[in-house]
């Protein structure tokens, strides 16, 4: 008896159409608008809908103490009212960070929103956003929930790459991921290191993951490492276990 062909799960047709329209709309908006201020407005308006279920608008009541938590939430949905980790690094390129900051915030907040675990939508949303954040985004890439980025502009991802949930891609010194690489969940890939005696002293070291390499779940790839094509890093369960 042959193995049955597995059909990839899809949302209902009406939902799929809406999801596709939303992603196309966002892709066009971020292609058209590069300025940090306009991108922040776009992201703010989208997050208002995702988190509060209503359009942005109206004045906040800033006088009532009882409304302070709600005001904090509302204000924090606007990327201009938040700081992200990348802004604190001395090696950051301010203009490149500023252009991507709203998108990095959108990336994080989408995954933390009520729809962030929508698998079909999330895979497509992250790839769309990655095209506007990364140095290169290949085709056929799958990026799962909760993947953590640093700058994004020093990150190059090849074709057919799979990055599982909660992986860290630290591209401060430059990170290149070749075609058909698989990166396991909760893995950590670095392109910078700290001095053993002075934590504030950072050395940037480009890291490369060769085509077809596999990075196991919870594995760590240190800065400056060149993982060879097809190499496996970390521990994988045996096929007969």
- DSSP state letter for 51: I
Q: Please tell me the predicted confidence (pLDDT) of residue 62.
A: 82
- What distances in angstroms separate CA 88 from CA 6, 55, 81, 99, 200, one per listed residue? 46, 31, 15, 15, 12
Q: Which residues contact 152 (CB under 8 A, 6 or more apart)?
A: 100, 103, 104, 130, 133, 134, 135, 171
CB of 177 within 8 A of CB of 183?
yes
Return d(Cα 89, Cα 13) in angstroms, integer.
Answer: 45
pLDDT one digit per residue (tens) for the chain, 241 residues: 566 666 778 899 999 999 999 999 999 999 999 999 999 999 999 999 999 999 998 888 888 888 899 999 999 999 999 999 999 999 999 999 999 999 999 999 999 999 999 999 999 999 999 999 999 999 999 999 999 999 999 999 999 999 999 999 999 999 999 999 999 999 999 999 998 888 788 999 999 999 999 999 999 999 999 999 999 999 987 644 4
Helix/strand/coil for 148: strand
Positive/negative CA dihedral, 47, 119, 122, 216:
positive
Query: DSSP characters for 75-114?
Result: HHTSGGG---GGGG-TT--HHHHHHHHHHHHHHHHHHHST
Q: Which residue has the tokens 């940090």?
A: 36
To the nearest 5 percent, what fractions of the chain are helix, strand and coil?
Answer: 35, 15, 45
Give pLDDT, residue 4: 65
In angstroms, the CA 222 to CA 217 distance is 15
pLDDT of residue 90: 93
Rg of the chain's alpha carbons, rounded to an integer? 20
CA atoms of 222 and 179, how far apart (whole Å): 20
Q: What is the pLDDT of residue 5?
A: 63
User: Would you state the pLDDT for residue 240?
Assistant: 45
Q: Which domains does the chain have, with CATH numbers?
A: 15-233 (2.160.10.10)
Distance CA 50, CA 114 (A): 7
Q: Count CB atoms within 10 A of the CB of residue 203.
A: 12
Give which of 1, 2, 83, 101 is closest to 42, Cα–Cα: 101
Q: What is the spatial distance between Cα 167 and Cα 187, in angstroms, rounded to a whole number?
A: 5
Q: Nearest-CA neighbor of 204 among 190, 184, 187? A: 190
Structure tokens given for 205:
């070291």
Q: Which two tokens stand for residue 58?
A: 């109206």
């Amino acid at each position: 008896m042959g193995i049955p062909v597995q059909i990839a799960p899809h949302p209902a047709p009406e939902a799929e159409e809406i999801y596709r329209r939303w992603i196309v709309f966002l892709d066009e908006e971020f292609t058209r608008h590069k300025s940090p201020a306009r991108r922040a407005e776009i992201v703010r308006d989208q997050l208002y809908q995702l988190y509060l279920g209503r359009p942005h608008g109206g004045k906040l009541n800033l006088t009532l103490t009882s409304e302070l938590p709600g005001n904090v939430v509302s204000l924090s949905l606007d990327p201009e009212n938040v700081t992200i980790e990348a802004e604190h690094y001395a090696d950051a390129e301010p203009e490149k960070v500023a252009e991507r900051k709203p998108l990095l915030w959108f990336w994080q907040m989408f995954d933390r929103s009520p729809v962030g675990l929508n698998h079909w939508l999330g895979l497509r949303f992250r790839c769309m956003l990655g095209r506007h954040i990364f140095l290169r985004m290949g085709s056929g890439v799958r990026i799962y929930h909760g993947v953590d980025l640093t700058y994004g502009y020093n990150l190059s991802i090849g074709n057919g790459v799979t990055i599982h949930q909660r992986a860290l891609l630290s591209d401060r010194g430059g990170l290149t991921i070749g075609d058909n690489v698989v990166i396991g969940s909760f893995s950590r890939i670095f392109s910078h290191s700290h001095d053993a005696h002075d934590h504030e002293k950072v050395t940037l070291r480009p890291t490369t993951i060769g085509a077809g390499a596999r990075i196991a779940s919870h594995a760590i790839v240190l800065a400056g490492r060149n993982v060879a094509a097809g190499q496996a890093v970390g521990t994988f369960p045996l096929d007969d276990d």
